[in-house]
Structure 1
């Protein structure tokens, strides 16, 4: 099925039959990613009186109690409520509806002096600038950042034992100044895990720092989607993004970003 969309005077052809999820499926019974927690996501049969939610244990049906932390286990989307006292719900706060997205690959570089990521890898402003330049003059609302080659280990990585790339301050300032609504990234957080509570990159993106934001964008309605996985056979370029959110209300919620191929943009 092809949807034809007028996008700022350009006719886009979106192939709705070829959508790709860039979410990491969360298996509470198997290998899974974990960030900022020592407790895995778990699931166990519900028990109420004489009922057990397990056919294998003699119950009439399966019904599990699932315990997980959206911020810590798998792909999730968060809003500014992550860092405000109001703790707004992502479902009520972020820009709604589909968006034109640009997928870019960045090469992690060494944080030579340890000023950004304590010696861990960084996504540099220079690398980001080059990737954005390749997009030309096409306006877009969402940016998907990933490293290549894609590491399958990300689907079950314990980030308590591994570092991950962090955007340089100049890079996140560059993004904040663009008319972007959604940022999706293949790391568990925009900031380092232990930064003394600064969450500087989050604050810059949501317009709570000193960096300027684009005047046509309400930074407080922007979303961040972390812990995505974009496989190598998903080429860099243009896609139509449908950001599917769990209906479980919170400042963050499990999500499934869907990317659909787009034609009509050279």
Structure 2
């Protein structure tokens, strides 16, 4: 099924059959992307006396509980409630679900302190036209099923990079890392604060998505993003970003 959209005076077309899923799987031990020392996702049948909610155990249906941490288990989307006392819910603040987006691959660089970072300069060299870009998807590596970032001091972003894309009107940033900030940064979370402009003037409708799993064959360029987020009343929730390559056309 093909579709056409108009954005900022230009027309683009794509095909819903060409969707690329950027989310990591939950509930498959050994295949989940993890961080922050989170336990594996636990999916287990409800037990009520002698009754076990599993067809395998004799029940007529499968009736399972799921226990996980949205920040540490798999792809998730968060609002500035992640860093505020009010813990604003992503369910209340994400009210639009389709965005013209750009996928950009940025290679980590070694900082003076030995850390692996993504720099603003690298972004500026890779992407020069920002008009109409609502969401930025940043691919930094090829992280396989089962990758656990816990305790690895994973690659992170210069806060200046997040401030830069904020000032260019980008509303949503999606990354394949556990955080835009350093794993241990004394609680500063400078990149989070910069992107959300918090606490000075919080950007209510803007989100950060982390722990994506971007397929290696995904090319840099323009896409339509469908950001699917589970309706949890929480600062973060599991997400399934799906992108569709856009081609510019004339009316």
* Cα contact 2:160–2:194 (8 A) shared by 1: no
* Cα contact 1:95–1:223 (8 A) shared by 2: no
Larger mean CA deviation between 92-101 and 244-253 belongs to 92-101
When the two structures are superposed, what TM-score results if normalisation uses the length of structure 2?
A: 0.93
Instruction: Find 1:162's aligned residue among 145, 152, 159.
Output: 152
CA distance in structure 1 between the aligned counterparts of 2:143 and 2:89, rounded to whole angstroms? 31
The DSSP-based 3-state class of the residue aligned with 2:231 is: coil
Task: Name 2:226's counterpart in structure 1.
Answer: 242
1:214-253, aligned counterparts within 5 Å? 219-253=203-237
Residue 17, structure 1, aligned to residue 7, structure 2: no
Gapped runs of 5+ residues in structure 2? Answer: none
Task: Name 1:144's counterpart in structure 2.
Answer: 137
The DSSP-based 3-state class of the residue aligned with 1:219 is: coil
Gapped runs of 5+ residues in structure 1? Answer: none
When the two structures are superposed, what TM-score results if normalisation uses the length of structure 1?
A: 0.88
1:115-154, aligned counterparts within 5 Å? 119-133=114-128, 136=129, 138-148=131-141, 150-152=142-144
From the superposition, tell whether residues 74 and 208 of structure 1 become closer, same or farther in structure 2 (CA, over 3 Å): same
Give the drift of 1:30. Answer: 4.1
- Tell me how large the CA RMSD over aligned residues is: 2.0
CA distance in structure 2 between the aligned counterparts of 1:27 and 1:75, rounded to whole angstroms? 12
How many residues matched? 250
Give the drift of 1:95. Answer: 4.9
CA distance in structure 2 between the aligned counterparts of 1:151 and 1:30, rounded to whole angstroms? 13
* Cα contact 2:30–2:146 (8 A) shared by 1: no
CA distance in structure 2 between the aligned counterparts of 1:95 and 1:131, rounded to whole angstroms? 30
Give the drift of 1:179. Answer: 0.6
* Cα contact 1:101–1:143 (8 A) shared by 2: yes
Larger mean CA deviation between 166-175 and 245-254 belongs to 166-175
CA distance in structure 2 between the aligned counterparts of 1:192 and 1:89, rounded to whole angstroms? 24
